[in-house]
A and B are shown apart, each in its own frame.
Chain A
């Protein structure tokens, strides 16, 4: 993400154990989630996470196009992860590339494993993830946004799916890499968790980690995911909060 160029390697980890932006090794960047900002989609969410800005929209379950993709006994989950041309320092060539195809695929598969797809046979659940501003960890921000959008769309699923990347800078295993740490660090390990079961539905790795470091990275990531999980739940609560005195006399459920 972004160009490395001939820049000097920045100091990623200070002698005081602080990172390039002053965070501790187990500290997340600030994250804010808005549920339901888009009107036309069945569900939507906007995530601002450090300097990442990611919008997700969900449509469906709806008719499958093209028809031949339709499955007789379940819904299919389709995902398109896309980075805006203006999302990075140097203009990103717009459209599908190998990286975004891969990310779309792994995210679609992650969600297919948590959505109760058998409830909507012959339909499609379409997830659109648009990265407006990127600063490492956009696939995780995309998963978080899409997951809140799926809940906002009323899609039945096992749980919300928080996600975060863990990596290695210097000798330390650190949580939630930012751009410089991603570019100059020695490992990047994005993961997505199902808190209800403790299952990981997305796990990729770039770079090198020892067995011991991998184990520590996974532990750190799970803790980070659980923090993000709380922010996701609060975003949905805020949107569906019943403000003021409730309509006790006129129940909504028909």
Chain B
């Protein structure tokens, strides 16, 4: 995780003129000083004797009165109300522990589910290895992450497959107000659930899943460049089968944009409009 993997990257050792983006968005490494006179050190920074330094690898973001470094890599850092895709790693009498790609496992208590469960019955509902869509409910100073399955669009995932990408790429995968996801669902008919933690659930025909996977890989590798939507669209067009040979959709009519697709709330307003009921197969 955290790896926009670029095999055989050709940039090694090249010392060309910085591209415009390098000037606009300053890449800093841990220990590098940031010019931040009059700004308070925010996340990803620290201050020693009046000088501000980066503590993580990322882009500098100056929004007075705070300067911060937006990390380009690393594990998922949960925030309250994030919708995430998790996998059960442990079952206890009254709760499950979920791996959501965060520094710690997140307990899902049985009261946080829509089910009526008696003590000890937890395993009948979710087993180790099952995947769920949950929302981050509360965080405390010790790093404990409380999650809930009560809410719109939350629940157990049946069927499908999970693709993992870097959490830093999630805003790109969702696109503006969910535009990238609608593009993917429109062209493939697949059902997609994006977790803020970079885990993406995809269900549909074998062909649809494959094309979505390839598109996600494209977004992850080239997410920093311009014209991404066009590139994804052209990839999807080039792999489209002629009308007559189109495989039958997973079930029901082809999903229309904003109807069957389900998009994680990305904290940017409009996209949460698209939130629909839980993605359920059979």
Contacts and interface: CB of A to CB of B under 8 A. Distances in A.
Interface string A36-66: 1011011110000000000000001111000
Contacts of B55: 116, 156-158
Interface residues of B, number: 56
Contact of A243 (B19, B103, B171): B19
A1 B215 CA distance: 49
Nearest to B71: A154
B267 A254 contact: yes
A44 B31 CA distance: 19
Contacts of B266: 254
Interface in A151-170: 151-160
Given A61-B103, A153-B73, A248-B21, A122 B142 contact: yes
Interface stretch (A23-31, A126-134, A203-211, A231-239): A231-239
Interface residues of A, number: 52
Given A153-B74, A160-B30, A248 B53 contact: no
A197 B48 contact: yes
Given A60-B103, A247-B225, A196 B53 contact: yes
A194 B172 CA distance: 35
A109 B225 CA distance: 39
B29 A236 contact: yes
B75 interface: yes
B186 interface: no
Contacts of B228: 247, 250
A236 B69 CA distance: 16
Which of A194, A245, A252 gathers the greatest number of chain B CB atoms within 10 Å? A252
B224 A242 contact: yes
A230 to B, nearest CB: 11
B224 A252 contact: yes
Given A42-B2, A245-B226, A247-B226, A151 B21 contact: no
Ranked 7 nearest A-B pairs via Cβ: A246-B21, A154-B74, A159-B31, A61-B103, A154-B73, A156-B55, A254-B171
10 contacts: A42-B74, A60-B75, A61-B75, A121-B141, A121-B143, A153-B74, A156-B44, A156-B55, A196-B53, A254-B171
Interface of B: 1-3, 5-6, 9, 11-14, 19-22, 24-25, 27, 29-32, 44, 46, 48, 53, 55-59, 61, 70-75, 103-105, 141-143, 168, 170-172, 176, 223-226, 228, 266-268
